[in-house]
Amino acid sequence: MATARARRDGTATVPTEAPPPRTAPLVIDLDGTLLRTDLLLEGIITLLRRNPLMLLLMLLWLPRGRAFFKRRIAEGAGLDVATLPANEALLAHIEARKAAGQEIVLATAADELMALRALRRFPVFDRVVASDGVRNLKGEAKAAQLRALYPQGFDYAGDCAADLPVWAAARRVIVVGASPAVLRAAHRLGKPVEVFPAASRARALLKALRPHQWAKNALVFLPLVLGGRAGEAEAWASAGLAFLALGLVASASYLVNDLLDLAPDRAHWSKRERPLASGRLPIATGLAALVLGLTGGLAVAAFAGVAVLTGVLAYLALTLAYSTWLKRVPMLDALTLGCLFSLRIAVGIAAVAVAWSPWLLTFSMFLFTSLSFAKRHTELRGAARRGRSGTIAGRGYQPADEAVVLAFGVASGLSSVVIFILYLANEAFHHAALAAPLALWSFPLILVLFMGRVWLLAGRDALHDDPVAFAIKDRPSLALAAIAGLAFAAAAFGLPHSLLPQGLESSWVMRSSVS
């Protein structure tokens, strides 16, 4: 608006534009707000992934204060902020406010080394305020700093209860991905509130726990039936406890795997959508679920007995070795996964106290090694399709290994069929506990059809990168599983004689005189 100012001699100055009223700056938090992750936890995980002994140094850093601790983590981790998941909706809002002329400030409790890396990724910011190795800029400290810098007021975007003192000092409240309790507390401040909601954390946690993978643990019930204890409620209860213990520990181990693989998963074409890698599940929530899962699983295993606890601990040790090292060793990674499936059967044997079957354990190892190779084959084909060369992130394979993985995978699958036939010929019909072992002869045919379908679809790029997830959604595979279940039940309990063709009755109920 043009104004004129009168001089003392009665003349007037040339009209000029009055300066616009100063707009309060928009202040943005970093952890959990602009970035859908926590930089301190990301740095800690990165250091531990490189060298677990770094934990000892971290314990020495902590007594020197949180700000010092953050500085040492920032210096050692060298975190690549460019790969971390960002809140795109909030970023678009920030860019719009910047275009409208509002000053944009980054104010974070993260160390300033981390904040400066974020600034290189997000050049929209005019100023950065962060922890400096001496002062931890969080909560009241951040509020006091911003009040001193902007006495005219500021708008603030945050995500957690630690931001409540800052919101109390702000002109406008912007709540990003906060819990319902924090959102209610923000509304009670009596200020204008703008909300950027987050995806359901409960749903993200459920997905990260992979409950569909619990289907693998049904293998613990296999020794119960083949061992002739299918009619005993006590045996089913023992196997059920083993199933629950393995499920809880397995879900916790999936969280360990995802936490250690945050960087490789974010570079993967499909794994980048995993809850932890994408930021939909906060790292702190994942860590809490991990601790609860391990504690609960081991407690259930201990209640089930020393033998079950020993088996579950062996499973946990092998799966941790896989997550930290073995998964990056070509061929050995798939064999390790096959061994983990055999361990599930071993836990079932321990739970119901039946005789060990070397044939059965070897069969399961080869079968599931084949499915593990199918998963690797899918990953290799995907990498080749996207034109990638060199070693795949987080793995020891290269796209050129596809043919070798295919050969070993098909060979392992067919070997499992042969081993099952040898089991039938050498053990099943000498097992007096089975009511109708002849029914098990349907399994080799079912296995051939299933393995053939898996590898056929793998070659067509039509297989999900997780064969277990594929199998529980694929109708032909479910139909084969239903037939296998019926045959399994028939082998354990037999069939009414009226349903058997005349002349087959004696062979159907055939039992060996050898107990």
- What letter represents residue 281's amino acid? L
Q: Are residues 186 and 246 in the same domain?
A: no
The predicted pLDDT at position 6 comes to 36
Nearest to 359 by CA among 431, 457, 438: 431
Task: Reduce the DSSP state of residue 383 to 3 states and report it.
Answer: helix
- 277 in a structural domain: yes
- 514 in a structural domain: no
> What does the angle CA 385 – CA 388 – CA 391 come to, to the nearest 5 degrees?
125
Residue carrying structure tokens 């800052």:
166
* Of the residues 170, 198, 226, the one at which a domain ends: 198
Q: CB of 276 within 8 A of CB of 257?
A: no
The predicted pLDDT at position 19 comes to 36
- Which residues partner with 172 through β-bridges? 155
The predicted pLDDT at position 26 comes to 97
Query: What number of other Cβ atoms are within 10 A of residue 357's Cβ?
Result: 20
Task: Reduce the DSSP state of residue 399 to 3 states and report it.
Answer: helix
Q: Are residues 282 and 380 in the same domain?
A: yes
Task: Reduce the DSSP state of residue 435 to 3 states and report it.
Answer: coil
Number of domains in the chain: 2
The predicted pLDDT at position 438 comes to 83
Nearest to 170 by CA among 99, 100, 88, 107: 107
Q: Are residues 192 and 225 in the same domain?
A: no
Q: CB of 154 within 8 A of CB of 174?
A: no
- 19 in a structural domain: no
The predicted pLDDT at position 429 comes to 66
Q: What is the CATH number of the domain that holds 304?
A: 1.10.600
Environment class of residue 372 by beta-carbon count within 10 Å: exposed (0-12), middle (13-18) or buried (19+)? buried
> What does the angle CA 429 – CA 433 – CA 438 come to, to the nearest 5 degrees?
35
Provide the H-helix boundaries in 386-497.
Answer: 402-426, 442-459, 467-471, 475-493
Q: CB of 196 within 8 A of CB of 90?
A: yes
Q: Are residues 80 and 107 in the same domain?
A: yes
DSSP line for 298-328: HHHHHHH-HHHHHHHHHHHHHHHHHHHTGGG
Distance CA 26, CA 156 (A): 6
Q: Are residues 307 and 175 in the same domain?
A: no
* Of the residues 198, 233, 265, the one at which a domain ends: 198
- 298 in a structural domain: yes
Q: Are residues 87 and 185 in the same domain?
A: yes
Residues written for the chain: 515
- 385 in a structural domain: yes
Q: CB of 26 within 8 A of CB of 105?
A: yes
- 12 in a structural domain: no
Environment class of residue 383 by beta-carbon count within 10 Å: exposed (0-12), middle (13-18) or buried (19+)? buried
The predicted pLDDT at position 389 comes to 65
Q: Are residues 231 and 193 in the same domain?
A: no
The predicted pLDDT at position 278 comes to 95
Distance CA 311, CA 344 (A): 8
| Beta strand pairing call for 193-196 and 127-131 | unpaired
Q: Are residues 342 and 441 in the same domain?
A: yes
- DSSP H/E element including 296: helix 283-304
Residue carrying structure tokens 């039940």:
489
Q: Are residues 149 and 219 in the same domain?
A: no
Residue carrying structure tokens 């033998």:
307
Q: Domain of 365?
A: 213-508
Q: Are residues 151 and 231 in the same domain?
A: no
* Of the residues 172, 198, 224, the one at which a domain ends: 198
Nearest to 46 by CA among 340, 349, 314, 263: 263
Percent helix / strand / coil, the chain, rounded to 5: 65, 5, 30
Q: Are residues 233 and 148 in the same domain?
A: no
Query: What number of other Cβ atoms are within 10 A of residue 289's Cβ?
Result: 18
- 460 in a structural domain: yes
Nearest to 315 by CA among 254, 397, 370: 254
Q: What is the CATH number of the domain that holds 147?
A: 3.40.50.1000
With the C-alpha atoms ordered 26, 29, 33, 39, is the resulting torsion angle positive or negative? Answer: positive
Q: CB of 217 within 8 A of CB of 246?
A: yes
Q: CB of 468 within 8 A of CB of 213?
A: yes
Q: Are residues 194 and 228 in the same domain?
A: no
- 354 in a structural domain: yes
Distance CA 100, CA 104 (A): 11
Successive 10-residue mean pLDDT values, the chain, 515 residues: 36 35 85 97 94 94 96 94 95 96 96 94 96 96 96 96 97 95 96 93 95 90 84 93 97 95 86 93 96 97 96 96 90 93 94 88 92 89 72 77 93 94 80 73 92 90 76 88 87 62 46 38
Nearest to 425 by CA among 444, 405, 402: 444
Tell me how far the alpha carbon of residue 464 is from its chain's centroid.
17
With the C-alpha atoms ordered 267, 81, 210, 372, is the resulting torsion angle positive or negative? Answer: positive
